[in-house]
Amino acid sequence: MGHDDLAVALSTAEAAADEARALALARFGGPVAVDTKPDGSAVTEADTAIEQAVHATLARAHPDHAVMGEETGGALDPTRPTWVVDPVDATANFLRGVPVFATLIALVVDGEAVVGVCEAPALGERVAAARGHGVRRNGAGVRASGVRSVADAHVALGDLARLRELPELWKGSMTLVDAAWRTSGFADFWGHVMVAYGAVDLAVERDVHLWDIAAPACLVTEAGGRMTDLAGEPVLATSAAGRGPSDPPNAVVTSNGLLHGAALDALRGS
Tell me what the pLDDT averaged over the chain comes to: 91
Question: Is 147's pLDDT higher than 90?
Answer: yes
Degrees to nearest 5, angle at CA 228 with 99 and 87: 35
Q: Residue 73 — very low, low, confident or very high, per pLDDT cuts 50/70/90?
A: confident
Residue 38 DSSP code: T
CB half-sphere exposure, 2, CA atoms < 13 A: 2
Residue-wise pLDDT tens digits, 200-257? 999 999 988 899 999 999 999 999 999 999 999 998 874 333 344 455 567 899 999 9
User: Would residue 116 be called left, alpha or beta, if left means φ above 0 and alpha means ψ between -120 and 50 degrees?
Assistant: beta
53 vs 74: which has the higher pLDDT: 53
Q: Residue 33 — very low, low, confident or very high, per pLDDT cuts 50/70/90?
A: confident
pLDDT of amino acid 29: 84
pLDDT of amino acid 245: 45
| Domains and their CATH numbers in the chain | 3-142 (3.30.540.10), 150-267 (3.40.190.80)
pLDDT of amino acid 43: 77
pTM above 0.85, yes or no: yes
Q: Which segments of the chain does DSSP mark as H helices, in order?
A: 3-27, 45-61, 91-96, 160-164, 167-179, 189-196, 210-222, 260-267
Question: Is 51's pLDDT higher than 60?
Answer: yes
Burial of 133: CB neighbours in 10 Å, binned 0-12, 13-18, 19+: middle
Say if strands 34-36 and 42-44 run parallel, antiparallel, or are unpaired: antiparallel
Other CB atoms within a 10 A radius of the CB of residue 134 amount to: 14
Please report, as a single letter, which amino acid is at residue 233: E
Q: How far apart are CA 238 and CA 26, in angstroms?
A: 39
Average pLDDT over residues 57-73: 93
- Contact between 75 and 209 under an 8 Å Cβ cutoff? The reply is no
143 vs 41: which has the higher pLDDT: 143
Average pLDDT over residues 181-192: 94
- Contact between 186 and 214 under an 8 Å Cβ cutoff? The reply is no
Q: How far apart are CA 157 and CA 263, in angstroms?
A: 12
pLDDT of amino acid 155: 97
Mutual orientation of helices 167-179 and 260-267 as an angle, nearest 10°?
130
pLDDT of amino acid 199: 97
At a CB cut-off of 8 Å and minimum separation 6, what does 117 contact?
10, 13, 14, 16, 17, 103, 104, 105, 106, 126, 127, 128, 129, 215
pLDDT of amino acid 238: 44
Q: Residue 143 — very low, low, confident or very high, per pLDDT cuts 50/70/90?
A: very high
Residue 121 DSSP code: G
Residue-wise pLDDT tens digits, 109-136? 998 999 999 999 999 999 999 999 999 9
